[in-house]
Amino acid sequence: MVKLTLDWLGDLRFRSGEGSPPIELHSSTPGVVSPTQSLGYAVMACMAMDVAHVLQKGRHGLQALSATFEGDRANEPPRRFTAIRLHFIVTGSIPDDVVARAIQLSHEKYCSVSNSLRTDIDFRTSFEVKAGA
């Protein structure tokens, strides 16, 4: 079970409550993560962690990994994500098919965040592999 607490700070601002990991979420304050952005970070981090784990477990010489998130939202409430695109940049001497399989395993089996989203989201991934030093 996961248990988290948020405390209202006024307006549309919240901060994690006592005993919860530190996070602050605002609706539209520049420089502060919104709930929608936090969902993007959560999907991206969950899948990137899975990909890193699979590549490291397979001893594929992972040297660096970064991910970017792009999401399209519905125009009308609820302004949910209608499309998500994740792009991974993997550095190391790792075959493309190994990276593709790690991403597939994350999205289809391991990532609890992406698997908690609606199934009608147009969810796409891409990657590039850069040769390592």
Helices (H), the chain: 35-57, 96-105
The full set of domains in the chain, from first to last, is 1-32 (no CATH), 35-130 (3.30.300.20)
The dihedral built from the CA positions of residue 74, 79, 80 and 84, taken in this order, carries a sign that is: positive
pLDDT value, residue 28: 86
Share of the chain above pLDDT 90, in %: 93
Amino acid present at 77: P
Q: Each residue of 21-70: pLDDT tens digit?
A: 999 999 989 999 999 999 999 999 999 999 999 999 999 999 999 999 99
3-state secondary structure of 6: strand
pLDDT value, residue 24: 94
